[in-house]
Amino acid sequence: MIALDLRFEPPEPVGPRADDDVVRHASEQSMIEVVTLAGGMTSGLPSVAIRLTLEDGSTAIAQTSARLFVTAAQAILARYPHLFDEP
């Protein structure tokens, strides 16, 4: 299973790392698709797939457990409790 690394303070500038072979960017017209997959985990629990179309037309897909995805969302909301308040 793919792990999820959630950081509120990145240790380095966000972007490609020196050991990345190829860096492709999302097209500005791209949409990030988040899809739940019932029974997507070996355990039978749901998973979440994230799909992004890149500027060269290729597709990147990452999958993690729904539990990890929701835990990350809850952590972000805990860090930024006024996220949904009007500015």
Collect all residues with Cβ–Cβ distance below 8 Å to 67 and sequence separation of at least 6.
45
Beta carbons within 10 angstroms of residue 83's beta carbon: 9
What confidence tier does 52 reach under pLDDT thresholds 50, 70, 90?
confident
Instruction: Using the predicted structure, report yes or no on whether residue 86 has a pLDDT greater than 70.
Output: yes
Retrieve residue 61's tokens. 């897909």
Average pLDDT over residues 52-81: 90
Residue 55's pLDDT is: 79
| Percent of residues in the chain assigned helix, strand, coil, to nearest 5 | 15, 25, 60
Instruction: Using the predicted structure, report yes or no on whether residue 28 has a pLDDT greater than 60.
Output: yes
Retrieve residue 71's tokens. 């835990």
Q: What angle do CA 12, 6, 83 make, to 5 degrees?
A: 105
Residue 80's pLDDT is: 93
